[in-house]
């Protein structure tokens, strides 16, 4: 375990906001995790588990506690009757995992290409894109239970997955540190119908190859065109969750020509479309710019404080509510 003191959260997160963290503890093996929580408990400090920092916002006052960063690496394979199980250490960069699977012709996570973050964070908010989500393939995770001070295995059913939610960011938030995740994948390809933007891209480019590698290439191209690289352009990825509507309200919105996507997880309207319809794409609020390519993304152009972001968020949310009656919900978590 590596112990670092007084590290700016702005240097650890892709939105580039946040004051100093008292300690940053980097764990490289499972035993380091229990040591890290023991270190924090010894000094009476709160803890926060951090991965790549792409879906995390820091506050100006920093964090008077211990941020624990996952640096554990490795992927192990286990054959199954229909495919293969991949046991992935939580510190693996997520897109490397997707590339690994696609190179082996395994389907199940190819539409999740280019989502920034670490593998250990994937089940926390049940990452999803273009019709796939981690809940589709995850079988179990290994965790450190910071309350019971023990390692344990949680199965998919234990995690209570829903849209961008699991027990890891709701009822048991901050309790478990993800050591590894296990996915069950199989040879094959995605089947239609695809998510609208993916379907359009494939059609416009006359692509009929739906293999994992082909879908990964298409999704990567779509994201590269619309989404800024958080390594070079400060942002937190998709800033707002999509809006879900009930089956009883579906016809009402379809009659109004709202672009409703009907999937296995329900009916949703892209929040980026709502923001665009309010004329906010490309606009800047308090140093925070609404991306003109993907309005769901907020870019930190010149904001220096969390208050700047909060003010920009409030204006955007308010304008969408005034026009459509929907309250947008923030996707990134906050260190506090």
The answer to whether residue 102 scores a pLDDT higher than 80 is yes
Could you tell me if 129 and 53 lie in one domain? no
Last residue of a domain, one of 19, 52, 70: 70
Which residue among 70, 89, 105 closes a domain? 70
- 34 shares its domain with 104: no
Q: Residue 140's pLDDT is what?
A: 98
Q: Are 47 and 154 in contact (CB under 8 A)?
A: no
Residue 298 lies in a domain: yes
**CATH number of the domain encompassing residue 87:** 3.30.465.10
Q: What is the CATH number of the domain that holds 36?
A: 3.30.43.10
Tell me which residue range forms the domain holding 150. 75-187
> CA 145 to CA 33: how far, in whole Å?
10
Query: What is d(CA 161, CA 173) in angstroms, rounded to the nearest whole number?
Result: 13
Of the three residues 35, 70, 105, the one that is the final residue of a domain is 70
158 with 88, same domain: the answer is yes
- 150-156 mean pLDDT: 98
For residue 85, give the DSSP letter.
E
Within a domain: residue 218?
Answer: no
Q: Where are the alpha helices (DSSP H) in the chain?
A: 30-42, 94-103, 156-159, 196-204, 212-226, 247-255, 271-277, 306-324
Q: What is the CATH number of the domain that holds 315?
A: 3.90.78.10
- Residue 14 is predicted with a pLDDT of 95
Lowest mean pLDDT among 17-31, 43-57, 139-153, 241-255: 241-255
Q: What percent of the chain has pLDDT over 70?
A: 99
Q: What band does 231 get if pLDDT is binned at 50, 70 and 90?
A: confident
Q: Which of 146, 238, 271, 291 is catalytic?
A: 238
Q: Clarify whether 238 is annotated catalytic.
A: yes
The length of the chain, given as a count of residues = 336
Whole-number Å distance between alpha carbons of 301 and 118: 25
Inform me whether the pLDDT recorded for 249 exceeds 80: no
Short-list 275, 276, 306, 271, CA closest to 288: 306
Are 45 and 58 in a shared domain?
yes
Q: Identify whether 176 is part of a domain.
A: yes
Residues 104 and 180 in one domain: yes
- What span, in angstroms and rounded, lies between the C-alpha atoms of 53 and 7? 14
86 plus 166 within the same structural domain: yes
262 is catalytic: no
Residues 142 and 88 in one domain: yes
* Residue 219 within any structural domain of the chain: no
| pLDDT score, position 255 | 74
Answer whether residue 63 is part of any domain: yes
Q: Is the residue at 314 inside a domain?
A: yes
Q: Identify the bridge partners of residue 186 per DSSP, sorted by sequence position.
A: 107
Q: What is the pLDDT at residue 112?
A: 97
Q: What is the number of other CB atoms lying within 10 angstroms of the CB of residue 172?
A: 17
Angle at CA of residue 132, ends 161 and 82, nearest 5°? 90
Torsion angle (degrees, nearest 10) of CA 68, 72, 77, 80 = -10
Higher pLDDT, 250 or 327: 327
User: Radius of gyration of the chain from Cα atoms?
Assistant: 20
Q: What average pLDDT is seen over the chain?
A: 94
85 and 183 both lie in a single domain:
yes
Comparing 39-43, 74-78, 258-262, 328-332, the range with the smallest average pLDDT is 258-262
Residue of 26, 199, 315, 331 marked active site: 331
pLDDT tens-digit series, residues 178-223: 999 999 999 999 988 888 889 999 999 999 999 999 999 999 999 9
pLDDT band for 262, please (50, 70, 90 cuts): confident
**CA nearest neighbour of 160 among 149, 144, 172:** 172
Same domain assignment for residues 94 and 171: yes
Whether residue 168 sits in one domain with residue 80: yes
**Pairing relationship of beta strands 106-107 and 176-187 according to DSSP bridges:** antiparallel
Residue-level pLDDT at 122: 96
Query: For residue 135, is it within any domain?
Result: yes
- Per DSSP, the chain holds a count of helices (H) and strands (E) of 8, 21
* Total domain count, the chain: 3
Q: Does 176 lie in the same domain as 134?
A: yes
- Cα 212 to Cα 103: distance, rounded to the nearest angstrom: 8
Active-site residue, 164 included: yes
Instruction: Decide if pLDDT at 161 tops 90.
Output: yes
The residue annotated as part of the active site, out of 16, 164, 216, 223, is 164
Q: Is the pLDDT confidence value at 48 over 90?
A: yes
Residue 139: inside a domain: yes
Cα separations in angstroms, 170 against 159, 164, 324: 10, 10, 27
Check residue 257 and report its DSSP letter: T
In terms of domains, do 182 and 89 share one? yes
């Amino acid at each position: 375990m590596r112990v670092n003191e007084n590290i700016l959260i702005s240097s650890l997160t892709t939105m580039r906001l946040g004051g100093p963290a008292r300690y940053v503890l980097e764990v490289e093996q499972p035993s380091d995790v229990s040591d890290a929580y023991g270190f924090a408990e010894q000094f009476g400090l709160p803890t926060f588990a951090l991965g790549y920092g792409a879906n995390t916002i820091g506050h100006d006052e920093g964090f008077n506690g211990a941020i624990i960063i996952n640096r554990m690496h490795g992927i192990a394979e286990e054959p199954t009757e229909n495919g293969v199980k991949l046991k992935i250490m939580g510190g693996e960069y997520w897109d490397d995992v997707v590339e690994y699977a696609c190179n082996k012709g395994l389907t199940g996570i190819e539409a999740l290409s280019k989502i920034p973050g670490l593998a250990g964070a994937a089940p926390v908010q049940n990452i999803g894109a273009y019709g796939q989500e981690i809940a589709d393939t995850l079988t179990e995770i290994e965790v450190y239970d910071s309350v019971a001070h023990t390692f344990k295995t949680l199965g998919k059913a234990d995690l209570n997955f829903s849209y961008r939610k699991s027990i890891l960011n709701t009822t048991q938030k901050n309790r478990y540190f993800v050591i590894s995740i296990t996915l069950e994948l199989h040879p094959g390809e995605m089947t239609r119908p695809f998510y609208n933007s993916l379907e359009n891209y494939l059609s416009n480019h006359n692509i009929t190859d739906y293999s994992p590698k082909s879908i990964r290439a298409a999704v990567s191209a779509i994201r590269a065109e619309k989404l800024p690289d958080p390594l070079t352009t400060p942002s937190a990825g998709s800033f707002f969750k999509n809006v879900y509507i009930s089956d009883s309200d579906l016809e009402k919105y379809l009659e109004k020509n709202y672009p409703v996507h009907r999937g296995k997880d329900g009916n949703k309207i892209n929040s980026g479309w709502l923001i665009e319809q309010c004329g906010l794409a490309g606009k800047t609020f308090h140093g925070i710019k609404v991306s003109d390519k993907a309005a769901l993304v907020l870019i930190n152009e010149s904001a220096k404080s969390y208050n700047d972001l909060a003010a920009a968020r409030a204006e955007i949310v308010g304008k969408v509510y005034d026009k459509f009656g929907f309250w947008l919900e923030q996707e990134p978590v906050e260190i506090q």
